[in-house]
Amino acid sequence: MNECQVDGAAIIARYDAVVEKIAEAARNAGRNPEEVKLIAVSKRHPAESVRILNNHGQLDFGENYVQEALAKQEELAEHTINWHFIGHLQSKKAKDVAGKFALIHSIDRLSLAQKLQKRMEMLPVSGLDGERKVQDILLQVNIGDEAQKSGVDKDGLFELAEQIMALPQLRICGLMGMPPASCVAEEARPFFSNLRMLRDELATRLGMPLKHLSMGMTQDYVQAIEEGATFVRIGTEIFGPRPY
């Protein structure tokens, strides 16, 4: 099957199974399933796969690569989609993502946030009252203390959050994190618990609500939900192996 031949029935069947597993995990944790939002990670999958799921009712899709994401946005412009940027973001790409995603999950340094703010200042005002657009963001935390992984160190999180709060067109909505790749299922749980506690501590110190925790992927989203995830990012279990 080539890129243009998408097995829509299989994608929908896998998607429906994932939605039920998310709901079950939430209920088992004493949570309302509506508190947990599924982000279907569509990176490297064709726009047609996104179209199929969107027509089936899925609204939130995650992309890791800027140019691929923008191309899909253009191709699917007639669809109602909440696009999430979940990959590592280079500062030079800030100009390309500002105002084009419902939520950017991977802000991890002040220089990137400043570039994003400058680009937001260049966007036209919205509405009759001339309000400036605001970009919702999550702060990515390096919860595994891995030298090769993006994310602000836990010790630097509060300082970064305070600095970004001074940027008027960026709004911090919570935290994102990924455990080490070697930690799956129950091994990932302590990292999710730690991220939740960091979020709660940060919200208290900043004196503002931080609603979201973006954590959990195909191999560990059940544990993430049990530890408080509000966004889970699932690709392979829905779309199948990524075509290369």
Please give the average per-residue pLDDT across 65-74, as a whole number: 98
Please give the average per-residue pLDDT across 8-15, as a whole number: 97
Is residue 1's pLDDT more than 50?
A: no
Contact between residue 158 and residue 199 where contact means Cβ atoms under 8 Å apart = no
pLDDT of residue 125: 82
Please give the average per-residue pLDDT across 97-109, as a whole number: 97
Alpha helix segments (H runs only) across 76-217: 94-97, 110-122, 157-165, 189-206
> Mean pLDDT over all residues of the chain?
94
Is residue 34's pLDDT more than 50?
A: yes
Residue recorded with tokens 């290369």: 244
Contact between residue 155 and residue 144 where contact means Cβ atoms under 8 Å apart = no
107-166: pLDDT as tens digits: 999 999 999 999 999 998 876 667 889 999 999 999 988 877 889 999 999 999 999 999
Is residue 82's pLDDT more than 70?
A: yes
Superfamily of domain 8-121+133-239: Alanine racemase (3.20.20.10)
What's the length of the chain?
A: 244
233 DSSP β-pair partners: 39
Summary count for the chain: helices (H), strands (E): 9, 8
Report the distance separating Cα 187 and Cα 223, nearest Å. 9
161-218: pLDDT as tens digits: 999 999 999 999 999 999 998 888 999 999 999 999 999 999 999 999 999 999 999 9
